[in-house]
Amino acid sequence: MKRFKMLLISFLAFALVTGCGSSGGNSPANDQASGNTDGNQAATQPKEEDKKQDKVTIKYYTWYNGSQFEDIQKIVDNFEKENPGIHVEPIQLVDNANSTDFYKKLDIMSAADDPIDVIQFSHVDFIIERAARGVLAPIDDDLKNNNIDPANDFYVNPVYQGKVYGLQDMASPWVVIINKQALDEANLPVPEWGWTWDDFRDYAKKLNRGEGADKQFGAYFHTWGEYVGFPAYSEKPHPYLSQDQQPIFNDESYKQFFELRRAMEKEDKSVKPFSEIVGAKLHYASEFFSGKAAMVPTATFIVGMIKDQEKYPHDFQTVFAPLPRSSDSAEIGSSYIGGDYLSVGTSSKHKEEAYKFIEYVALQTDVIRDFPGYKKTDASKVIQALVGPDAALIEEESLKATVFDSRAKTVYDANWTTDYAGQMKKVIEDGFSAFMLDNLTFEAAQKQMMDDANKIISQAKK
């Protein structure tokens, strides 16, 4: 039976990859290549084909779409100008910009042994998980040859068993975005470094406005794991694991935050019910820009969304505040810095060219989409590029004060992570869902999370 199941999985994986592996209309490069040619172009076609045959083509898999994908294409165009022997084909592996769906398709491609050149990741844990499976190639030799020290040059270094498996393309510090109009109407100052989650709760109460369908909730929490345990993400070396790689869901910070979330929903009614968020599949950006939520914890990738008036039309200015700390005794400045990463696939037939591309993307500043993962980038240039002509929508001073405060840092340590750490995010998401939807006590939800986590660890060690 086991042999039959493995054969069936392989067949299904091959069938799905065959259907979705082509970038088709999703790739601007393909769109250009499929254009009609006139007689003059036809006459020169053999020479053009000869040129193409001299190029190495690498494929870059991402979940980005819309303006984010357009920015990727700009970077690709710049790279190809500097490296005429390499053609990069960006491929939207999913059409809904959902990174979870992206990883599912990526894993199916890996199972089918499809050649994969460059892969985008949204968290270092997802890199480590696939590095452990042999999906990714280490890049230590390339880094050494190019005099790059990722441990010092980047905010987070994706290390697994002493080897580096990617570069941090963008660093996305987590912040709290606030509707300035709502803040002014409530006569509240912009929060500064040092405020706590209790302060956040108080702000949310004061930012509540209206009733029914027109209600502006004081705050919004999304369904991702970060929103379940912000204190663990911002104040622990790893949000799920201890240094000896045991689950930490029995840590007091989880109890504190679970109960804060429930109190804000049930007692204060300052956040939209979790059941509605899940049932309607709501999106944090839509809730904020539509004025249905005055305050949202999120990462700085939100800046690009603020500027995307076509997709998120709004006329109020957004101000920025640091992530709150767990208590007055917690260190000021300790925060959570997420980001995107680029890795090279083990199955790539052009690893040298693939590495050259990911290094270029990580170091380039011609197209700034978020705060770079590379620490030596000019901060003023970054702010100027991110805000640009959109100062009416983005409050520049609060953004600077939040991201570039000298105390701001991450305590995350990639050495604490494991090949199964990526699975832990679903454990806390499921535990929190049961806590809110099934009205469990925290102790019952905690037991569920610890049991689920220990099962994952036991299976990983077999």
Tokens coding 357: 């591309």
Lowest mean pLDDT among 213-222, 267-276, 358-367, 368-377: 368-377
Contact of 184 with 211, CB cutoff 8 Å: no
Lowest mean pLDDT among 21-30, 44-53, 72-81, 170-179: 21-30
Q: How far apart are CA 53 and CA 69, in angstroms?
A: 26
Dihedral sign computed on CA atoms, order 58, 61, 66, 67: negative
Written out in words, the top-level CATH class of the domain with range 54-172+338-387 is alpha beta
Tokens 């469990």 appear where? 440
Q: How far apart are CA 333 and CA 408, in angstroms?
A: 4
pLDDT at 118 over 50: yes
Q: Would 54-172+338-387 and 173-337+391-460 be classified into the same CATH topology? A: yes
Q: How many Å separate Cα 418 from the centre of its chain?
A: 19
Tokens coding 23: 């970038």
Contacts of 313 (CB under 8 A, 6+ apart): 289
Tokens coding 150: 């990722």
pLDDT at 411 over 80: yes
DSSP of 151-220: HHHBS---EETTEE--EEEEEEEEEEEEEHHHHHHTT-PPP-TT-BHHHHHHHHHHH-B--GGG-BBSB-
Please, which residues bridge with residue 119 across strands? 61, 343
pLDDT at 344 over 70: yes
Q: How far is CA 328 from CA 43, 332, 375, in A?
A: 74, 9, 29
Q: Which three-class secondary structure state does DSSP give residue 90?
A: strand
Mean pLDDT of the chain: 88
pLDDT for res 37:
36
Q: Which three-class secondary structure state does DSSP give residue 27?
A: coil
Q: How far apart are CA 419 and CA 129, in angstroms?
A: 4
Superfamily of domain 173-337+391-460, CATH level 4: Periplasmic binding protein-like II (3.40.190.10)
Percent of the chain with pLDDT over 70: 89
The region that residue 455 occupies, defined by phi over 0 for left and psi between -120 and 50 for alpha, beta otherwise, is: alpha
* 278-329: pLDDT as tens digits: 999 999 999 999 999 999 999 998 998 999 899 999 999 999 999 999 999 9
pLDDT at 87 over 70: yes
pLDDT for res 53:
60
Q: Which three-class secondary structure state does DSSP give residue 295?
A: strand
| Domain ranges, ordered by start, for the chain | 54-172+338-387, 173-337+391-460
Q: How far apart are CA 251 and CA 235, in angstroms?
A: 12
Tell me the pTM. Answer: 0.78
